[in-house]
């Protein structure tokens, strides 16, 4: 089995992934893997490296980094025979946590490079053609992402402080949301569309969401007071955010969102400038991904292998 490892050396807390470089080299050598190791050199390079891996016949492409690295690598693997594997080294690791992937480097490497797991097909999303795999959004969460990405210190405490600062300087906006021919207008502080159930760090933006159901979950949070924000923050980690009367939740395969002015959106935590019109779509079972045989949920979509074993993704 031919494998390409793609390492983001500046991902996560204090560039933890850079310290994995000697461990990765030792692992590849000790396991006698037919593998290449490529560190990235800047934004977008992981996508180039992943495309090259697919073109040269790699059966597995391993992303070593955070959600941004995962996004760049996965973009190149949509609707290809190559399977994505994750070595989570980021600040949030949202998709990895949702899927129950190991966070310890050696365990993650063993899953990524051996036959101890299975290949499952998961859904992906896109906003105006730009792929996302865990979540996208705008408003407060995009503002937080933009601020957080400029910082050199990472981790949940830093993210919480950044979110609090952004909230205190918050601005709401009125959006028109169309789903299935029905349009509703709402004032939002934050609008997220999730494929998995969480942003990362077990902050559940869409409790119960699945990556294999052909649906995306839209979460619109209306403007709230400072006290209300504290309550929503608690609900985010307790897993009952959508029980709040300040939260509107919709599920569907395609959303059209119109906002009053252009602004930024984030896709898996990376921000981009957009116009006033956002078309968000799901692409069912378009990405093959290595998952454990046993995870926090039962089996779902199986790779087309003759074993007859099916994986249920969370």
Are the beta carbons of 237 and 212 closer than 8 angstroms?
no
Are the beta carbons of 307 and 119 closer than 8 angstroms?
no
Are the beta carbons of 272 and 130 closer than 8 angstroms?
yes
Residues of the chain with pLDDT under 70: 11-18, 149, 152-156, 295-314
List the domains of the chain with CATH numbers. 2-115 (3.40.50.10330), 130-282 (2.60.200.40)
| pLDDT at position 201 | 87
| pLDDT at position 141 | 85
Give SS3 for 170. Answer: coil
Distance from C-alpha of 84 to C-alpha of 61, rounded to nearest angstrom? 5
> What's the pLDDT tens digit per position in 119-143?
999 999 999 999 999 999 999 888 8
Distance from C-alpha of 273 to C-alpha of 267, rounded to nearest angstrom? 11
> What's the pLDDT tens digit per position in 158-195?
777 777 777 777 788 999 999 999 999 999 999 999 99
| pLDDT at position 314 | 32
| pLDDT at position 194 | 97
Going by the DSSP 8-state scheme, the letter that residue 93 receives in this structure is B
| pLDDT at position 14 | 45
Supply the residues annotated as catalytic.
270
Nearest CA to 72 out of 60, 56, 80, 84 is that of: 84
Predicted TM-score (pTM) of the model is 0.86
Distance from C-alpha of 212 to C-alpha of 124, rounded to nearest angstrom? 9
| pLDDT at position 171 | 80
């Amino acid at each position: 089995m031919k494998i390409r490892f793609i390492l983001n050396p500046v991902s996560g807390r204090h560039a933890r992934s850079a310290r994995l470089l000697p461990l990765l080299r030792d692992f590849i050598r000790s396991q006698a893997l037919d593998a290449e190791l490529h560190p990235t050199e800047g934004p977008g390079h992981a996508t180039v490296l992943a495309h090259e891996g697919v073109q040269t016949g790699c059966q597995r492409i391993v992303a070593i980094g955070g959600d941004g690295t995962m996004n760049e690598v996965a973009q190149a693997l949509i609707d290809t025979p190559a399977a994505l594997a994750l070595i989570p080294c980021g600040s949030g690791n949202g998709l990895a946590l949702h899927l129950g992937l190991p966070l310890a480097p050696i365990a993650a490497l063993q899953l990524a490079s051996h036959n101890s797991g299975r290949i499952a097909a998961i859904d992906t999303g896109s906003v105006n053609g730009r792929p996302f795999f865990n979540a996208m959004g705008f408003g407060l969460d995009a503002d937080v992402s933009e601020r957080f990405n400029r910082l050199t210190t990472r981790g949940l405490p830093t993210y919480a402080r950044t979110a609090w600062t952004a909230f205190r300087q918050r601005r709401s906006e009125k959006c028109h949301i169309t789903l299935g021919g029905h349009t509703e207008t709402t004032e939002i502080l934050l609008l997220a569309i999730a494929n998995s159930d969480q942003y990362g760090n077990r902050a559940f933006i869409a409790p119960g969401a699945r990556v294999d159901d052909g649906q995306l979950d839209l979460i619109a949070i209306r403007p709230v007071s400072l006290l209300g924000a504290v309550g929503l923050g608690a609900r985010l980690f307790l897993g009952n955010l959508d029980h709040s009367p300040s939260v509107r939740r919709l599920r569907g395969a395609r959303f059209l969102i119109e906002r009053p002015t252009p602004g930024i959106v984030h896709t898996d935590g990376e921000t981009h400038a957009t116009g006033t019109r956002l078309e968000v779509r799901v692409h069912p079972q378009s990405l093959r991904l290595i998952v454990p045989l046993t995870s926090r949920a039962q089996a779902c979509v199986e790779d087309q292998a003759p074993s007859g074993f099916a994986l249920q993704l969370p």
